[in-house]
Amino acid sequence: MSGWQRAFVLHSRPYSETSLLLDFFTEGEGKIRLLAKGARRNRSPLRGCLQPFTPLLIRWGGKGEIKTLINADPVSLALPLSGTVLYSGLYLNELTARVLEFGTPYSALFFDYLSCLQVLAGSERTPESALRQFELALLSYLGYGVDFLHCAGSGEPVSDTMTYRYREEKGFIGSLVIDQFSFTGKQLKALASRDFPDADTLKAAKRFTRMALKPYLGGKPLKSRELFRQFTTMPSILTNNKS
């Protein structure tokens, strides 16, 4: 049986008539999958706490590929996410669940995840910067190494006003071509520092992280992005229906 570990629920689905199969992100073991027996019963003490965004202390045990959740105690109430920020939280969970392998410790990334959730909970609008910072941290822990501060062709430090084109497995090379793979030196420095002081650097960061994460996600689209698109277009749909 494991000792107590801090954890968050990333994903859950029904298992048999009364149980749940859950993916957790834990501080010490990374992503793990556990069976919560009887968690769907009305009188189960686990029923109310096995929710996304709730800080938990959990223990588990058993043999085989899927182990059994023994205890789950909430450390505090669920972090309050609502509106567009809720969809950012769903994206954070789906991205983490899709990209991380089971059973690989990511202790430092766990705190990056927690920090991102705390920023989301304290925001009334989508805090894009926190999401981009987490995505870059995730790429770093996955071993995705890229030098943002030097031209891959010449080795010279990047210049704020010059344009550099990203080439997979090579890095950023000075170029006159302006397209979706092109970034200014100023944008690259923002990526290196994970600090996005304006809309331009933030937009560039989103473009880069989507590009870099694509191989890890494969061809399957993220459900949270589709839900967010439906949410943001809902007012216009309602308006059209009234006319």
- Per the domain annotation, does 230 fall within a domain? no
pTM greater than the 0.85 cutoff: yes
Burial class (CB in 10 A: 0-12, 13-18, 19+), 155: exposed
Last residue of a domain, one of 18, 44, 74: 74
Q: Which range among 105-109, 143-147, 217-221 shows the weakest confidence by mean pLDDT?
A: 217-221
| pLDDT exceeds cutoff 60 at 242 | no
Residue that wins the pLDDT comparison between 35 and 242: 35
- CATH number of the domain that residue 64 is part of: 2.40.50.140
- Is-contact 35 69, C-beta < 8 A? yes
Rounded to whole angstroms, what are the CA distances from 43 to 48, 68, 74, 103, 224? Answer: 10, 19, 17, 31, 31
Q: pLDDT (tens digit, 9 = 90+) per residue, 175-186? A: 998 999 999 999
- Residue 145, classed as helix, strand or coil, is coil
Q: Indicate the number of domains in the chain.
A: 2
Report helix, strand and coil shares of the chain as percent, to nearest 5: 40, 25, 40
- Per the domain annotation, does 125 fall within a domain? no
- Give the chain's mean pLDDT: 90
Confidence of residue 243 (pLDDT cuts 50, 70, 90): very low
- Is-contact 18 88, C-beta < 8 A? no
Last residue of a domain, one of 20, 50, 74: 74
Helices 128-141, 199-217: inter-axial angle, 10-degree rounding: 40
Find, among 187, 226, 233, 220, the residue nearest to 206 by Cα: 187
- Per the domain annotation, does 174 fall within a domain? yes
Q: pLDDT (tens digit, 9 = 90+) per residue, 61-85? A: 998 888 999 999 999 888 999 888 9
What is the distance between the alpha carbons of residues 130 and 60, in angstroms, rounded to a whole number? 31
- Per the domain annotation, does 16 fall within a domain? yes
- Residue 221, classed as helix, strand or coil, is coil
The strands making up 163-167's β-sheet, listed across from edge to edge, are 171-174, 163-167, 182-184
- CATH number of the domain that residue 211 is part of: 1.20.1440.120
Domain of residue 159 covers 145-217
- Per the domain annotation, does 109 fall within a domain? no
What is the distance between the alpha carbons of residues 230 and 136, in angstroms, rounded to a whole number? 26
- Per the domain annotation, does 228 fall within a domain? no
- Per the domain annotation, does 137 fall within a domain? no
- Residue 147, classed as helix, strand or coil, is coil
- Per the domain annotation, does 33 fall within a domain? yes
Last residue of a domain, one of 20, 49, 74: 74
Find, among 114, 154, 152, 150, the residue nearest to 134 by Cα: 114
